[in-house]
Amino acid sequence: MGYWKSKVLPKIKKVFEKDSTAKKAAAAEAIKNFDESKEEICKEFEEKRTELGPKVIEIFEASTAEIKTLVKDPKEAGLKKQTTSVQKFLDELVKIEFPGSKVVSEASSKFGPAYVSGPIFFVFEKVSTFIPVEEKAVEPPAPETKTEEATSSTEKEIVVEEEKKTEVVAAEASEKTEPVAEPPAKVEEAEPPKP
């Protein structure tokens, strides 16, 4: 076992470390190239915006709930968990010739989505511009007077409850301190009044 830990395991670790280091360096180069072409991608995006809209919505609606969440709220952890779904989504975007998606899809398939998260999130940001925003029903704020009334009534309830507790405690205390009453003395039968 000592030979394995001292000789074999370090060599295996070196092989994998070289691969990951080379992968990180190549991914960094791909990101740099992508960043340089962002302006062109944005111009192309604006030119094709009207024709891309329905196609992007169709692809988005057909995607999984995890991808929908990731597109709306991009997070690094979600990207690492959904690598295959992200790659499929990017491949679908490549099919409709979404600007920048081909470069990002190639980099993602080569290095993995976690290594090229910046470009992926950039494409997701552009995709999210086509997604209709779900508006939640917003309740109007209650008028100030109702709030003050509610506060004062709550304070009254608290005061009343405290008074009740005080009365109960006082009643219990008086029961404990009162001497036991002696039974009433025998009352002699009184004679009925004479008419």
d(CA 86, CA 79): 7
CB atoms within 10 A of CB 100: 22
Average pLDDT value for the chain: 73
* Residue-level pLDDT at 185: 55
More confident residue, 95 or 131: 95
Q: Are 48 and 99 in contact (CB under 8 A)?
A: yes
Nearest residue to 79 (alpha-carbon basis) of 40, 48, 108, 37: 108
* Residue-level pLDDT at 42: 87
Return the structure tokens found at 189: 């039968």
110 pLDDT above the threshold of 50: yes
Q: Are 119 and 100 in contact (CB under 8 A)?
A: yes
d(CA 42, CA 49): 10
Model pLDDT for residues 43-86, shown as the tens digit of each residue:
988 888 888 888 888 888 888 888 888 888 888 777 778 788 88
What are the backbone dihedrals phi and psi of residue 90, each rounded to the nearest 5 degrees, phi first? -65, -40
More confident residue, 148 or 108: 108
H or E segment at 136? none
Average confidence (pLDDT) over 113-126 = 85
130 pLDDT above the threshold of 50: yes
H or E segment at 56? helix 38-62
Model pLDDT for residues 164-176, shown as the tens digit of each residue:
666 655 555 555 5
Q: Are 30 and 111 in contact (CB under 8 A)?
A: yes
